[in-house]
């Protein structure tokens, strides 16, 4: 009997040297110039957020550094009517779907505006119970099917969450009811300090698809070209009613789990260095330089643009910090019960006393 993992070879289109080992598929060279710029901006934001925590401006932050190609490749192909149900490390994915990256800062600030998803964005707010959102993704996809909405849903989750019972229940329900959903697992190799080899004995996450009689795919999550083309095809097929699908995007958490974590305690430097060479942005840069689509001057211009953009994001963040405490009481139920209204009065009196 062959290994199940052999049925799921790694799909690569652009290798870590920036060489095309496949074609660009649905993408043009100009698309890659644009996506390079966007990834650089988002990387700059992520690094700044890390520093903001160190400066005490925000609280605990979970960086996505290294996972930009996976997150952008998973979301750029989506249409307006498609849904994104993200995990909490996916601010880059949310950004693509219309959620400002300031929400990543609100999240870390403990600011309620983190959940205030713009009306135009079909994105659920991040929640932190590992894997619980996969069932919400199934439900959302199921609803679009029952309502004949011709929409695809993508739910993102990490490798650690695949050990959770909810993820099993989600895959089983999705399969039984044939919902138009893409399970998009960002396998970044680490769940805080526990490596993927301790989450599971299986060699791949993708092979779990077999158990649910779903199509599964294992893609180089640091290769934007590969991820984009795969998800484009699967989203089209989901909209035609062919889902669900499981995608394992093999990537690496270049940073710590969060600002409260110190990976030197459990990871070896050689491993980190090996993965740093596979950085999704670096490989794209190599390709673009070699193809003369960008030059050193252009790279410096992107540096400057990134800094400027992150400054703007920070200004937006600071401008939006003020919020009425009423949101705390008003959104528990559609209509505030009398007993809660009494507690709200109490809270407001307290707030007044504290200010006085």
Partner 1 sequence: MAKLTIAQALNAALAQALEADDSVIVLGEDVGKDGGVFRITDGLLDRFGKDRVIDTPLAESGIVGTSVGLAIAGMKPVAEIQFLGFIYETMDQIASQASRVRFRSLGRYSAPMVIRTPYGGGVKAPEIHSDSLEALFTHTPGIKVVTPSNPYDAKGLLLAAIDDPDPVLFLEPMRLYRAFRDEVPDEPYRVQLGRANVVREGADITLIGWGPSVPLLKAAADDLAARYDVSAEVIDLMTLTPLDEETIVESVKRTQRAVVVHEAVRTSGFGGEIAAVIQEKAFLYLEAPIFRVTGYDTPYPTTMFEDLWLPDTTQVVATALDAIRY
Which one of residues 101, 138, 219, 249 is an interface residue with partner 1 (CB under 8 A)?
A: 138
Site string for partner 1, 167-196 (x = CB under 8 A): --xx-xx--xx-------------------
Least separation in angstroms between CB 332 and partner 1 = 5
- Give the Cα separation of 275 and 252 in Å (integer): 7
Cα 42 from Cα 182, distance rounded (Å): 24
**Active-site choice (43, 48, 239, 253):** 253
- Given 218, 257, 278, 283, the catalytic residue: 257
Q: Judged by CB under 8 A, which of 113, 218, 278, 283 binds partner 1? A: 113
Q: Which stretch binds partner 1 (CB under 8 A): 89-97, 108-116, 273-281, 283-291?
A: 108-116
Q: Residue 32 phi/psi, 5° resolution?
A: -70, -35
141 binds partner 1 (CB under 8 A): yes
Q: Is 83 in the site for partner 1 (CB under 8 A)?
A: yes
Residue in 266, 274, 290, 346 annotated catalytic = 266
| Cβ 8 to partner 1 shortest distance, Å | 25
The yes or no reply on residue 154 touching partner 1 (CB under 8 A) is: no
Q: Which residues pair with 218 in a beta bridge?
A: 10, 248
SS3 for 232?
helix
Helix (H, G, I), strand (E, B) or coil at 8: coil
For every residue of 111-164, DSSP letters joined together read -GGGG---TT--BPPP--STTHHHHHHHHHHHHHHHTT----EEEEEETGGGGS
Phi, psi values for residue 267, rounded to 5°? -115, 150
Known catalytic residue at 290: no
- Per-residue x/- marks for partner 1, 280-319, CB under 8 A? ----------------------------------------
Q: Say whether 61 is catalytic.
A: no
Interaction of residue 333 with partner 1, rule CB under 8 A: yes
Q: Which of 12, 92, 117, 227 binds partner 1 (CB under 8 A)?
A: 117
SS3 246: strand
132 near partner 1, judged by CB under 8 A = yes
Kindly compute the dihedral angle of the four CA atoms of residues 293, 295, 299, 302, in this order, to the nearest 10 degrees.
-50
Q: Could you tell me which residues are beta bridge partners of residue 85?
A: 155
Q: Tell me the three state secondary structure of residue 248.
A: strand
- What does each C-alpha distance from 13 to 36, 93, 212, 275 come to in angstroms? 16, 21, 27, 18
- Active site includes 257? yes
Q: Does residue 147 belong to the site contacting partner 1 (CB under 8 A)?
A: yes
Supply the residues annotated as catalytic. 253, 257, 266
Task: Give the interface with partner 1 as residue ranges (CB under 8 A).
Answer: 83, 85, 112-113, 115-117, 119, 124-125, 127, 129, 132, 134-144, 146-147, 165-166, 169-170, 172-173, 176-177, 327, 330-335, 337-340
């Amino acid at each position: 009997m062959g290994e199940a993992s052999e049925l799921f070879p790694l799909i690569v289109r652009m290798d870590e040297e920036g060489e095309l080992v496949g074609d660009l598929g649905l993408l043009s060279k100009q698309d890659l110039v644009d996506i390079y710029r966007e990834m650089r901006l988002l990387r700059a934001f992520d690094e700044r957020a890390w520093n903001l925590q160190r400066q005490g401006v925000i609280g605990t932050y979970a960086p996505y550094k290294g996972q930009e190609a996976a997150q952008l490749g998973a979301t750029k192909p989506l249409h307006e009517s498609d849904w994104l149900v993200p995990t909490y490390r996916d601010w880059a994915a949310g950004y693509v779907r219309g959620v400002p990256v300031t929400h990543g800062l609100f999240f870390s600030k403990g600011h309620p505006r983190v959940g205030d998803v713009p009306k135009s964005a079909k994105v659920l707010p991040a929640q932190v119970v590992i894997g619980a959102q996969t069932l919400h993704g199934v439900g959302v996809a199921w609803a679009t099917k029952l309502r004949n909405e011709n929409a695809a849903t993508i739910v993102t989750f990490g490798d650690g969450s695949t050990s959770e019972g909810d993820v099993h229940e989600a895959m089983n329900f999705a399969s039984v009811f044939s919902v138009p959903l893409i399970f998009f697992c960002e396998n970044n190799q680490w769940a805080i300090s526990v490596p993927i080899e301790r989450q599971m004995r299986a060699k791949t996450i993708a092979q779990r698809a077999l158990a649910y009689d779903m199509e599964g795919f294992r893609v180089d999550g640091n290769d934007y070209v590969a991820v984009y083309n795969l998800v484009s095809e699967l989203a089209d097929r989901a909209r035609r009613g062919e889902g669900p699908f499981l995608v394992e995007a093999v990537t690496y958490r270049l940073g710590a789990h969060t600002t409260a974590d110190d990976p030197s305690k459990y990871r070896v430097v050689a491993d980190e260095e090996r993965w740093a060479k596979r950085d999704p942005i670096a490989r794209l840069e190599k390709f673009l330089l070699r193809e003369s689509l960008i030059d050193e001057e252009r790279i410096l211009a992107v540096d400057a643009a990134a800094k400027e953009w992150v400054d703007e994001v920070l200004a937006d963040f600071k401008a939006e910090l003020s919020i009425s405490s009423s949101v705390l009481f008003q959104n528990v139920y559609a209509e505030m019960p009398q007993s809660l209204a009494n507690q709200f009065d109490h809270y407001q009196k307290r707030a007044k006393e504290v200010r006085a």
